[in-house]
Amino acid sequence: MRVRIEDVAEAAGVSMKTVSRVLNQEPNVSEETRKRVEAAARKLQYRPNPSARSLAGQRSFLVALLYDNPSSNYLMEVQAGMLDACIAHHYNLMLAPVTYGERKFLAHVDEIIQHSRADGLVLTPPLTDHPGLMKRLGQLGIPYANISPKLRGGRIGVVLDEERAVREMMAHLVSLGHRRIAHIKGHPEHGASQWRLNGYRDGLAAAGIAYDPELVIDGDFHYDTGAICAQRLLLMADRPTAIFAANDDMAAGTIRTASEMGLSIPGDVSVCGFDDTPIARQIYPPLTTVRQPTREMGRLATHELFKRIKAPDGGQMITAGYELQLRQSTGPIGKGRTRRR
């Protein structure tokens, strides 16, 4: 029924092993033999059996994406990027959702690794900063790549210079005349929250604006939280003229709240976010934000992972590029015509 390597060998008049060599691009095959084998394989429509390959070769040709419920847009982009890389390397992508705070978190991860036999993992924040996980993965000796990890020492994956990106964004706001700029922080577990806060503070400092703790509020990257935080900020007697939310979802929540309060954007208050997820263009007004090349980051991280799978010390930490997206949610100060309801 199914065509096996043996059939190809027979058709090509060589041994199984020679076919195997050709298929796996191993050396020590004469050009002529190679061609003959390839022709036979094509004619018979031969497809290697992954299970057999895995069993004999001790690898699964599977990588798993380990994640803990980040925003769906973010995750989809990461997935797409990983798929780009996986397809190019003839690997398959498996999904492995976990729960960071769970009691048996590590046991669960063990389970996944054992059960899937993935050759490697890609971690998204905040898993990428879970100390116990790092350690466990090291013990198990399973290769993994990190997306936007806090700690970069001796690890592979991809990061963005988020601090610098935020400094640029702050410079943009300052150039529009804003000096009373608020910040809604991200989830405390994510490295990004810290970087973006740092960028905010640096941006203020660069403009000679004093840091005012009242203008900095704890968020968690969620839309609803953004909406709530914005309310606190916009109800202040001396309300900020600009709000930098640590991601687009919270910025969208901010805009939502401002709209409900009858405030004009950017007339009464400018709002900006980070990530450039689809929501940035799907709200009104469209959001000024930093474009984070999430898909590309997924691809790059997976690419580094493959390098490490091949060699125990392969791969490195890559820095991806960002881009400011100036849209209509930010504008010059004081052009507003408040229309409180």
Partner DNA sequence: CTGTTAGCGCCTTCAG
Partner DNA sequence: CTGAAGGCGCTAACAG
The answer to whether the beta carbons of residues 238 and 307 sit under 8 Å apart is: no
Question: How far from chain centre, in Å, is Cα 248?
Answer: 14
> What is the footprint of its own copies within residues 120-149 (CB under 8 A)?
none
The answer to whether the beta carbons of residues 275 and 247 sit under 8 Å apart is: yes
Nearer to its own copies, 30 or 45 (CB): 45
Binding mask 267-286 for its own copies (x = CB under 8 A): -----------xx-xxxx--
The answer to whether the beta carbons of residues 138 and 145 sit under 8 Å apart is: no
| Cα 168-169-174 angle, rounded to 5 deg | 95
**H/E segment holding residue 217:** strand 216-217
Residue 27's binding partner, choosing from DNA, its own copies, none, with beta-carbon cut-off 5 to 8 A by kind? DNA
Alpha-carbon distance of 249 to 292, in angstroms, equals 14
DSSP count for the chain of H helices, then E strands: 13, 12
Ramachandran category for residue 7: left, alpha or beta (phi over 0 → left; psi -120 to 50 → alpha):
alpha
Residue 261's binding partner, choosing from DNA, its own copies, none, with beta-carbon cut-off 5 to 8 A by kind? none
Least Å distance between CB 42 and DNA?
14
Nearer to its own copies, 197 or 258 (CB): 258
Angle between helices 248-260 and 223-234 (to 10 degrees): 50
Nearer to DNA, 20 or 79 (CB): 20
| Cα 136-151-191 angle, rounded to 5 deg | 105
Query: Does 79 participate in binding its own copies (rule CB under 8 A)?
Result: yes
Nearer to its own copies, 117 or 164 (CB): 117
Residue 92's binding partner, choosing from DNA, its own copies, none, with beta-carbon cut-off 5 to 8 A by kind? its own copies
Residue 76's binding partner, choosing from DNA, its own copies, none, with beta-carbon cut-off 5 to 8 A by kind? its own copies
Query: Does 72 participate in binding its own copies (rule CB under 8 A)?
Result: yes
Alpha-carbon distance of 103 to 164, in angstroms, equals 37
- The string of DSSP codes covering 223-243 is HHHHHHHHHHHHTSTT--SEE
Query: Does 291 participate in binding its own copies (rule CB under 8 A)?
Result: no
Query: Does 47 participate in binding its own copies (rule CB under 8 A)?
Result: yes
Q: Coil, strand, or helix at residue 299?
A: helix
Ramachandran category for residue 117: left, alpha or beta (phi over 0 → left; psi -120 to 50 → alpha):
left
What values do phi and psi take at 270, rounded to 5?
Answer: -90, 145
Positions touching DNA (CB under 7 A) are 2, 4-6, 13-18, 20-21, 23-24, 27-30, 32-34, 46, 48-49, 52-53, 55-58
Nearer to DNA, 27 or 208 (CB): 27
Nearer to its own copies, 74 or 322 (CB): 74
Query: Does 319 participate in binding its own copies (rule CB under 8 A)?
Result: no
Residue 183's binding partner, choosing from DNA, its own copies, none, with beta-carbon cut-off 5 to 8 A by kind? none
> What is the footprint of its own copies within residues 82-121 (CB under 8 A)?
83, 90, 92-95, 97, 114-117
Question: How far from chain centre, in Å, is Cα 234?
Answer: 31
Select from 55, 88, 235, 326 the one that contacts its own copies (CB under 8 A).
55
Interface residues with its own copies (CB under 8 A)?
47, 49-52, 54-55, 60, 72-73, 75-77, 79-80, 83, 90, 92-95, 97, 114-117, 223, 249, 252-253, 255-256, 259-260, 278-279, 281-284
